[in-house]
Structures are given as C-alpha cells and as structure tokens.
Structure 1
Amino acid sequence: MKKDIFGLYAEILKYPSDINKLSKYLCDLGINESDGVKDYSLQSLQEIYVETFDFNEKTALFLSQHTAETAEEKSRIILAMAELLSEYKILKTHNAQPDYLPDILKAFRAILKTNDDKEAERYLADILFETVRKITEELKDAGNIYAEIMKHLQGDLTSFMSNREVTYV
C-alpha cells in the first residue's frame, strides 16, 4: 500500500545500523541501490550518512533547515512538528529535533492511515516535498546511495501534494 512506503523511507533515512535491513527496505521500495548496499561495510555506510546529512547543512534531514527563512519561522516549524509527533504518538528520535525527516515521515504515514484530515495531509506533503526536493537537488551529483533514495522519495510524495504554494505558519 502506498501509505506504508513512508514508514520504509523513515527507516532508510535513519542512521544506518543494519545493512541487511537497509537492503531489504530498499528492495521493498523497488530502489535498485539495494544490491549496492551490500557492497559497503556498515562503517562505510555510516560514514556516507554522516557526511551526507550531518556535515552538510544543505542536505540536513530537518524540515526547518529547508523551509524556514528566519529563526522565528524555524521555531514555529519545530513547534508545529513537535505537536504533530505528539498528536500521532510518534516517538521522537533520540537527540534529534522534532522536525527530523524520518520522524515526520512516520507522522505523515500515520496521517495517511487515519485519513481524517486531508488539509493536514496536503500541508505536510507540501512541506515534505519541498524539503526533499531541496535535498535531492543538492545530492544530484553526490554519487552516493542517498541521492537515489531522495529522488524516489520526492517522486512518491508528488501524488499527495496540494499543487499550491506553501505558506508556513
């Protein structure tokens, strides 16, 4: 089911701890990189992850990094995402801000499963898409497995968007 793929993306975009699980999740999504993952050691994948997402603010996995223009907007997004995680009973990843992309993807999956708030669904889809689009653009020449993953995630988010300009509250 298309809704469940966002749970897989959430797991894939966390700090890698198991190559076999990562490979399985990629395979479940139909992403060809699953064969290549096993060519890496766990330590190599962890280094790629840290270099890609932790040491480069242009590809950081935080929504506010890509959608807020001011400190005030960043604070509002972080607070809104904290409320979202709480509302859908999503446990925040230890040592991560509430707007950490894998956690928000879990919340998005929960919204899609409940199917009770189409406006929230489209709003969050728009914010997620914009974040992922910017990260994908930065990674297009990176030559690592996360570039392809983000490209697929961007494509999968497209059908949930509202197709209007996003205004951040």
Structure 2
Amino acid sequence: MKDEIAELLVVTSRFLDYPDQTFYRECSNLDAYLRKSITSEELHSEMSQRLMPFFSLELKDLQELYVETFDYKEKTGLYLTAQELGDSRRRGDALIRLQKLIADMGFEKVGIELTDYIPMLMELLAVAPENEEIHHLKRRLAYAIHRIFTHISKNNPYYQIFDALMTHIFEVPSSEEISRLVNEREEADLDELPYPMIYR
C-alpha cells in the first residue's frame, strides 16, 4: 500500500505542476505513462479515468485552465504556508523552517518554486522515510489539499486529482484543526491605497 501511495503522489504532483511541452510529451500517451508509474491495475484504471479529461484540451487551453484555477486565487493556491497563514509575515519564518526540515532529511529543493510548493512537497512525501516530522507535514498538507479541494468546481478536471488525493492518501482534517488554522490565517489587505500607484 505504501508503494501505491508513493506512486499516486508522484503522478498527481506531476499533473499539479504547470503544464508545459515536456508534460504534454511525457503524458500524451496516458495509459503508457500510468503503466510506467503505477503498478496497481485497479489504481491505474481509476487514475486513467480521472486524468483523461486533461487530454481533451489543447496545451494552451490547459495552461489557461491551470492559471485560472491556481494562480492569484487565495483559496486554491498551491503553496502550503499561504494556505495555512494567508497574507502573514509569519510565512517567511515558516518557509525557513520548512527549508531546514527538507535539508535535515538529506533532500534539497530544486527548481524556481518556493519551498512550500505543494506538488514538490507531495514528491517529498513519496520518497521520505516515515518519521514524526513527515507525519506532521502530511497533516499540514491534508489541511491545505482539503481546503483547495472544497473550493474547486466539480466540473474542473483538477477536481479529480484532489478527489483522488483525499480518497487515497490524506485524511479530512478535524473540525478542531480547521478552526485552529482558520484563526491563524491573515487575509490580504485589499483596501484602497491612499494614493494612486503608477507603473512604468
């Protein structure tokens, strides 16, 4: 079962990253891609059905859907500390602690995304040994992924990815966890500025 969870984490993390030409080449033959990635026939069949709608879209349309779904949307953003803390100055400290956790486990961040980029942390869960820190990180991700899941339309293909994650990997956070984290969030200050901003 642990192998299946790791395989599902890797596959879904790839689909939650920004879709580019490399993604489209690697995953264009979905059945072959899943057979290479997922050994369970039952899980392979399920994920094939869940992911097929992505390939009814042209790459440009899929990129636009990705941006519309995840970018600049507070409730569906793919950054763990933003989901937990909102527009808080504490995010900086949280990112530093997360980076230290990753380094202490012998891993390093790759790419240009911030340390709390959820697809990257999902890949970390797939390969990291089970310990207290990883268990805690998994609970944090469960909250963030559940929050995103509850704010995505069922008609959006990305809904199927989060549904699979909540079905097979992450436990729904308790009401106490949700209440505590909601109280810790800080919303962005969207009031009008006292003077106009001019961009050159």
Q: Into which bin does the TM-score normalised by the smaller protein fall? A: 0.7 to 0.9
Distance 1:85 1:131, change over 3 A: same
1:14 pairs with one of 3, 14, 17: 17
- On the 8 A contact 2:109/2:115 being kept in 1, the answer is no
User: Which 5+ residue runs of structure 1 have no aligned equivalent?
Assistant: none
Shift of 1:77: 2.2
TM-score by length of 1: 0.79
User: Which 5+ residue runs of structure 2 have no aligned equivalent?
Assistant: 182-200
Aligned mates of 1:52, 1:35 — CA distance in 2 = 18
Distance 1:61 1:29, change over 3 A: farther
Query: Pairwise mapping of residues 20-169 of structure 1 onto structure 2 (< 5 A)?
Result: 21=27, 23=30, 24-25=33-34, 28=44, 30-31=46-47, 32-68=49-85, 71-86=88-103, 87-94=105-112, 96-111=113-128, 114-115=129-130, 117=131, 119-139=132-152, 141=153, 143-158=155-170, 165=177
What residue identity is the alignment partner of 2:139?
A: D
What residue identity is the alignment partner of 1:102?
A: P
Shift of 1:88: 3.8
State percent identity of aligned pairs.
20
Divergent runs of 4+, >3 A: 22-29, 164-168
Name the larger-Rg structure: 2
1:76-111 CA-partner distances (Å, limit 9, x unpaired): 3211222233334243331x2110001111111122
Aligned mates of 1:70, 1:57 — CA distance in 2 = 9
TM-score by length of 2: 0.68
1:123-152 CA-partner distances (Å, limit 9, x unpaired): 01110000001000110x262111111121
